[in-house]
């Protein structure tokens, strides 16, 4: 019996140490998991039509893709997903441009050809730099439609919380990064480990602008129930779920129609 107790204690100790090591590894590596940060060469975008840069603090800058709006039309400010980069946003910009809407996408620090390292604070800094750029282009606050996809929905929500934007479109949004961590790694204490939290659910009740949530009913990354739950917390939100759409193809199906509709009517209140 004594030998069994010693073996049991040794097993518990080793298991606890392994669990602690796994927690420590997850804590250290979490930003590489949240931000895969695909890269591109500067020559792939700089100097090409529509591409430019906006400055950040400490001498850094991030790249942008900008298609000016027709006179009086709104401009969509878009924040992309965690596995995307700026080069992949041209198609969305051109589609919205064809609908008569301006478009600005901003890169995240450490993504594409932009310097720095991604973090929640860094993404917010890039977003505010993009908003400053729009002001310098003469785009009025009431003409700005905030837009985010997946990871970028947390950026859009924070900008709305800070008082920016006249409307907002959230594509495949999550409720918080903590909730995503709990879903993906339920055996780890995500509440204690997650550093970049993107707490959209707690911010939503204080955001009074009209919000459109678009979510694929077959989303295999962010469950559609997260989009529904988040939509219920905004005072003025419409939730559109797209049958047969997953995480990466929701806009490529009927979701883009709703996206363009809200952006196009951002100024007339309908």
Phi-psi region at 244: left, alpha or beta (left = phi > 0; alpha = psi -120 to 50): left
Report how far residue 63's alpha carbon sits from residue 213's, in angstroms, rounded to the nearest whole number. Answer: 27
Residue 247: active-site member: yes
Residue 117: active-site member: no
Task: Return the residue matching tokens 């003469």.
Answer: 138
- Written as one string, the DSSP assignment of 193-252 is H-S----HHHHGGG--S-EEEEEETT-SSS-HHHHHHHHHHSSSEEEEEETT--SSSTII
Q: Give a three-class secondary structure readout of 10-59.
A: HHHHHHHHHHHHHHHHHHHHHHHHHCCCCECCHHHCCCCCCEEEEECHHH
Instruction: Say whether 153 sits in a helix, a strand or coil.
Output: helix
Q: Which of 63, 78, 80, 150 is catalytic?
A: 150
Q: Which of 78, 80, 215, 247 is catalytic?
A: 247
Residue 150: active-site member: yes
Which is nearest to 50 in space by CA: 87, 83, 100?
87
Residues serving a catalytic function are 150, 219, 247
């Amino acid at each position: 019996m004594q030998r069994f107790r010693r073996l049991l204690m040794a097993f518990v100790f080793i298991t606890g140490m392994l669990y602690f090591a796994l927690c420590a590894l997850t804590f250290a590596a979490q930003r590489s998991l949240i931000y895969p940060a695909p890269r591109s060469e500067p020559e792939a975008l700089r100097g090409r039509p529509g591409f430019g840069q906006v400055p950040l603090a400490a001498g850094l800058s991030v790249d942008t893709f900008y298609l000016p709006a027709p006179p009086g039309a709104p401009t969509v400010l878009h924040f992309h997903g965690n596995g995307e980069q700026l080069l992949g946003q041209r198609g969305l910009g051109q589609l919205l441009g064809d609908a008569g809407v301006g478009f600005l996408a901003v890169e995240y620090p450490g993504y594409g050809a932009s310097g720095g390292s991604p973090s929640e604070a860094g993404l917010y800094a890039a977003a505010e730099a993009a908003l400053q750029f729009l002001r310098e282009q003469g785009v009025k606050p009431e003409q700005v439609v905030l837009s985010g996809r997946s990871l970028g929905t947390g950026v859009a929500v924070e900008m709305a919380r800070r008082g920016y934007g006249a409307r907002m479109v959230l594509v495949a949004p999550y409720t918080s990064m903590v909730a995503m961590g709990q879903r993906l790694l339920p055996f780890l204490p995500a509440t204690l480990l997650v550093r970049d939290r993107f707490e959209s659910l707690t911010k939503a009740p204080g955001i009074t602008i009209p919000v459109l949530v678009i979510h694929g009913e077959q989303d295999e990354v962010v469950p559609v129930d997260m989009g529904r739950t988040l939509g219920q917390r905004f005072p003025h939100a419409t939730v559109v779920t797209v049958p047969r759409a997953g995480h990466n193809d929701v806009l490529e199906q009927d979701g883009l129609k709703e996206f363009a509709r809200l952006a196009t009517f951002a100024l007339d209140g309908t």
